[in-house]
Amino acid sequence: MGKKLRNLALAALAIGLAAPAAITGQSKKQSDDAAVIRNLDIFNSIYKELNTFYVDTLDAKQTITTAINSMLDNIDPYTEYIPAEDQDDFMVISTGEYGGIGSYIMTRHDSTGVCISEPYEGSPAAKAGLKPGDRIVAIDGDTATKWKDGQVSKRLKGQANTQLKLTVVRPYVSDSVKTFTITREKIKVNPVPYYGVTHGNLGYINITTYNEHTAEQVKAAVEALQHNPAVKCLVLDLRGNGGGLVDEAVKMIGFFVPKGTEVLQTKGRNTLNFKSYKTTEDPIAPTMPLVVMVDGGSASASEITAGALQDLDRAVVVGSRSFGKGLVQQTRQLPFDGMLKVTVAKYYIPSGRLIQEIDYSHRNADGEAQRIPDSLTTVYHTAHGREVRDGGGITPDIKVTYPELNRLVYNIVRDNWAFDFATKYAAEHASIAPAAEFAVTDTIFDEFKRFIDPKRFNYDKVCEQGLSQLKKVAEAEGYMTDSTKAEFAKLEKLLKHNLDHDLDNNRKAISQLLSGEILKRYYYQRGVIENSLNSDEALDKTEAMISKPGEYEHLLNLDAKTKTKAKTPAKRAASKKRNGK
């Protein structure tokens, strides 16, 4: 009997044995296996028929990859297929290292190709003299004007100590065509681009990712700030930090809590995916007041850090609710050097709660994954008895409401108006004020307004669009009388958009954009972060909290600490059981 016939026989046998009233565990497994075999056979046959009879030639790699990605998209967004040619980018995220010139690049939406977005400070790109806005026209003599950023990136990367010749066009200068010979280096992505003292007594540490160097860089920053007598509180800024390596998060938490503290559990389908994470070293800052800042961009390892320190009542969390990713991924090797990054477990922080916000196992009729409603979340308790909830990210102890980006500001970013203005400004100004002191003055803002060409500036005029839609509805439903038309005419005059007025009305948000773009051309990311601390509501609230006697202790319910310590082992076990551990 051939292999295919044996498989079909197994499928028929499994279906025949699966009685409707009661299916044993073994027969259900056989039925599931038969369904897999049957559907793989169907898929194989469909592709064979298409490949034989479809009017155009199929691209086998593209077609199969599309099918794979479609299947994985229906599971969760973190389970993904990584073909061999894309694994370098994946390893950069994990290790924070790669061979290249050390620069962000971007594809412009105005059909002018790929340009340098931001060289890393101290990188080969920066040392060679590349600047944001430089448009890449050739690499090693090959014309690159029509390449996408992926193709450019692959050519810029390579073994350390190898050279490449890069030709760019630099806008807003007379000698615009420039050629650079650059020696690639081993680039290490710095997870801590800035730390220092701000607001008088706050030891601030900005952490952008969790790669193999994160814990060591944070440790160095903590130790340096602790030696500064002005520092009364440490602040870990995890806003916008999408996470990374879980082990680095556990190491970081260990800087602030006793050795041997359990900070995380992961649980999967079977015992092989259960793991308990405990701190392994003595803390370096066990008692200094600690604040962790999060927002909607804080995910995964960032949420483990913030959530564990909150559950252990070791830190006050400030900001807005975090993203809500409580899933753990592992990589599995596939044939032909492929890789599958697959979700294998969920993680639970010390109170026992899971902070996963979206339930990918239950979907609406349209296939969209469901969010866990607040009404179905469960109350858990921190080490000192404070109430916390599962199912929706980390909710801060001190909440900060960040303004939403409106359409005007969005289009300024999307169409590179702020980016291009900053490139022009840097070409015309050899230097600016120190990063901490720089501000967008009236003169700079007026220059930006003149820089924008109203004929080329496109933005959604929401009021006018809404009014137009309302007129259509009024006409369809028979309400468009002469008096109604007159009222609409009045509204049209009142709500007519004026670009100059709209720019002035959004000056604060636009100035922050301009400031960041201009600063990175002189002081790199370090200067952007340092300057942003001057107008940071989360830091303002942190300073106010630390300055108010007893407020930090009150927020962490530290007066309950002695009561918690006095619990018997049986009571502590009962408490853990109630919290789902």
The reply to whether 325 belongs to the active site is yes
Q: What is the gyration radius of the CA atoms in the chain, in angstroms? A: 29
| Residue 200 main-chain phi, psi, to 5 deg | 85, -50
Contacts of 84 (CB under 8 A, 6+ apart): 336, 337, 338, 339
- Burial class for 446, CB neighbours closer than 10 Å (0-12, 13-18, 19+): exposed
Amino acid at 411: N
Q: Are 182 and 164 in contact (CB under 8 A)?
A: yes
Helix (H) or strand (E) holding 280: none
Rounded CA separation 104/517 (Å): 14
User: What is 413-481 written as a DSSP string?
Assistant: HHTTHHHHHHHHHHHH-S--S-TTT----HHHHHHHHHHS-TTT-----HHHHHHHHHHHHHHHTT---
Rounded CA separation 158/154 (Å): 8
Q: Are 358 and 371 in contact (CB under 8 A)?
A: yes
Q: Are 539 and 532 in contact (CB under 8 A)?
A: no
| Residue 166 main-chain phi, psi, to 5 deg | -120, 125
- Annotated catalytic residues are 300, 311, 325
